[in-house]
Amino acid sequence: MAVPSKARISYEPEADVLMWEIPNQPIDYAQEVGNIVMHFNENNKPILVEILEASKFFNRARFFINKGKQFAFSEATLMAG
């Protein structure tokens, strides 16, 4: 039985991109919503998630967390600048 690949998280500061990736998985297609790009394999499972402008994204998330509000991702939230 094959051992599943472990996910990796990396951050590229010059591009301000945070990536969550399951390595060694071929990408079949990608979808973009606002500042998030999700890459899927042929079985429609996410294998790479890119958060563009990650510092802005997490500053907005921190605001909601600090205010004790529930934070749900929506297209409007992701596209807010």
- With 0.75 as the threshold, say if the pTM is over it: no
Question: 10 Å Cβ neighbour count for 40?
Answer: 16
Q: What are residue 79's phi and psi, to 5 degrees?
A: -90, -10
pLDDT tens-place string over residues 19-43: 999 989 999 999 999 999 999 999 9
| Cβ neighbours for 13, distance < 8 A, ≥ 6 positions apart | none
Domain that holds residue 51: 8-79
Please report whether residue 37 resides in a domain: yes
Domains: count for the chain: 1
Please report whether residue 22 resides in a domain: yes
Please report whether residue 3 resides in a domain: no
